[in-house]
A and B are shown apart, each in its own frame.
Chain A
């Protein structure tokens, strides 16, 4: 069973899936590791294509630019992809949480692959991290009312940073011109 998606990842997947799945044709979901791939697959309509070019692609946390390039080359002309990568502040968040989710993908790097960026947003950031830590500490110290209030502030803060550069997660919807 795939891991539970943190709220920011669920929002990001909702965002890209709502756009990518409106298109017909073969689709694929992939990720930087098997857990991310199986999570992304839940958001893909229909049976995933196992090989060949795809019209729809959902890509969660590419591990490095080389594998991201290979995956995005599979996007057929006219196809739409939703790419969720670590944002400009993601490395700091990852260090704080002692994990690594994958690499950054800059808008310029995506354009160099001859992809048009249809939409780009950022999710989360230092404020969200601060509220998450506060909520956890409040819960751990037996203050559930305060923990709930902090949890709601965290959820509001998750989506506060619109620019991928200043966010925990960068979300791009890209189109391969046909």
Chain B
């Protein structure tokens, strides 16, 4: 679609790269994350990447009126329908834990994509819309309400067999339930599930004027014990749902919580526009990796807070995102993977920093798809990218070209994700150090 037609850039550039990752059943590729990586299994994943991909294409369609973008959104929705199993879950929906299914918040996020697509097309295509709505409803009812709802504490568990709660994941689910209520007219999804779940999120939020972590949201609780880790990125992921609930119910507590979370995120912003990975009590910090592509989610959440009293400068964060964009539209994932879990700071560039991951790039894509203002053509750029890096203690070169992404070390290719292939080739040490 990057022909002579005036289009939106950089959203279109990212879209071009995202399309290059298509493989059997959808969008594939490796995953690098804070908790784990999924470097070898590059088969299509049906996780939260579909939230940003579908919403990004819907955003581009809204900006341009071009139905070809809608066609891509529908194809992504069809991927999810084809990937849905009998229990409402999607295959390979756990991102860094792929190829597992039943991933949280991934299936709720994918359902958000399906529901926004259904709402976008139900006039003039109610039959088509009902397919996407039906898939989202099956996922949310069978795979979430029936499997994860804990009626004793009136919130959703993160894992079925253990009392567990993850506020940012719950917020993604709340967003999905609000959309489901909107699409079906069934308010019980809000009253019985979304509201009590959001109340549990509020109980995980720190409040106090003198508290340096005021507005931060604890990462999770296990067996009723709150784990006091505070990720700015995940606080941002809570904001859209809280604002949606405030709008739907008029309850000022949710707006207040969203604003407080936004102020926490703003305070955590570094001069270069990045954010530390996680803050703890007593001023402890785990700085790395600092996300790049995922900043799209932060920018989107903070943009939603524009009407409210949150002091925030988006420019350095947006510049960090735009400056990082590769010529072919791929987005690097982060900086500082080499220093993950270390108290030392440093400038080493790690392979996973440079690695583009669909399930992070979709966040930038959605942000630019919704908000890009400059209209000009974007031509596909097939420049080879070569960057020096380290990985697992060895020096190497990150290489990205039209065939895929590879790591070269000691004069040979030691890792190669070829676009369209389900499995990356990797030397043993790349997988297991």
Q: Which residues of A contact B (CB under 8 A)?
A: 1-2, 4-5, 7, 10-11, 14-15, 17-18, 21-22, 42-43, 45, 119, 121, 123, 139, 142, 144-145, 148-149, 151-153, 156, 158-160
Contact = CB atoms under 8 A, between A and B. Distances in A.
Contact of B426 (A18, A21, A144): A18
A142 B280 CA distance: 11
Given A7-B36, A148-B278, A15 B431 contact: yes
Contacts of B424: 18
Nearest to B38: A14
A21 B278 contact: no
Contacts of A45: 43, 422-423
Chain A contact residues: over half helix, strand or loop, or mixed?
helix
B281 to A, nearest CB: 8
Given A1-B101, A42-B100, A123-B432, 19 more contacts: A4-B159, A5-B100, A10-B38, A10-B97, A11-B431, A11-B432, A18-B41, A18-B431, A22-B423, A43-B99, A45-B423, A121-B428, A145-B284, A145-B286, A148-B341, A149-B341, A152-B340, A152-B341, A159-B432
A14 B431 contact: yes
Given A4-B100, A145-B284, A17 B428 contact: no
B433 A159 contact: yes
Contact of A144 (B40, B92, B159, B227): B227
A59 B18 CA distance: 34
A1 B87 CA distance: 10
A17 B341 contact: no
Contacts of A151: 341
B433 A17 contact: no
A121 B431 CA distance: 11
B428 A15 contact: yes
Given A4-B100, A145-B280, A10 B36 contact: yes
B22 interface: no
Nearest to B39: A14
B408 interface: no
Interface string B208-245: 00000000000000000001110000000000000000
Given A119-B428, A139-B227, A148-B341, A42 B99 contact: yes
27 contacts: A1-B87, A1-B101, A1-B102, A2-B100, A4-B97, A5-B97, A5-B100, A7-B36, A14-B38, A14-B41, A15-B431, A15-B432, A17-B40, A17-B423, A18-B40, A18-B423, A18-B431, A43-B41, A43-B99, A45-B422, A119-B428, A142-B228, A144-B228, A148-B229, A148-B341, A153-B341, A159-B432
A160 B431 CA distance: 12
A155 to B, nearest CB: 8
Contacts of B431: 11, 14-15, 18
B150 interface: no
B379 interface: no
A151 B99 CA distance: 22
Contacts of A10: 36, 38, 97
Contacts of A2: 100
A42 B280 CA distance: 36
Interface in B392-433: 422-426, 428, 431-433
B142 to A, nearest CB: 12
Nearest to B341: A152
A15 B286 contact: no
A140 to B, nearest CB: 9
Contacts of B228: 142, 144
Contacts of B43: 45
A153 B433 CA distance: 13
A13 to B, nearest CB: 9
What 5 A-B pairs come out closest when comparing CB atoms? A152-B341, A159-B432, A159-B433, A18-B40, A14-B40
Contacts of B227: 139, 144
B97 A21 contact: no
Nearest to A42: B99
A144 B423 contact: no
A15 B41 CA distance: 9
Interface in B84-111: 87, 89, 92, 97, 99-102
A147 to B, nearest CB: 9
Residue among B41, B89, B99, B432 facing the most chain A CB atoms (10 A cut-off): B432
A48 to B, nearest CB: 14
Contacts of B342: 149, 152
Contacts of A159: 432-433
A1 B227 CA distance: 26
A156 B41 contact: no
Nearest to A152: B341
Nearest to A8: B432
A94 B343 CA distance: 33
B371 to A, nearest CB: 34
A38 to B, nearest CB: 11
A145 B341 CA distance: 9
B100 A148 contact: no
A28 to B, nearest CB: 16
Contact of B423 (A21, A145, A149): A21
Nearest to B41: A14
A162 to B, nearest CB: 8
A43 B97 CA distance: 12
Given A14-B40, A14-B41, A144 B422 contact: no
Interface in B271-317: 278, 280, 284, 286
A144 B229 contact: yes
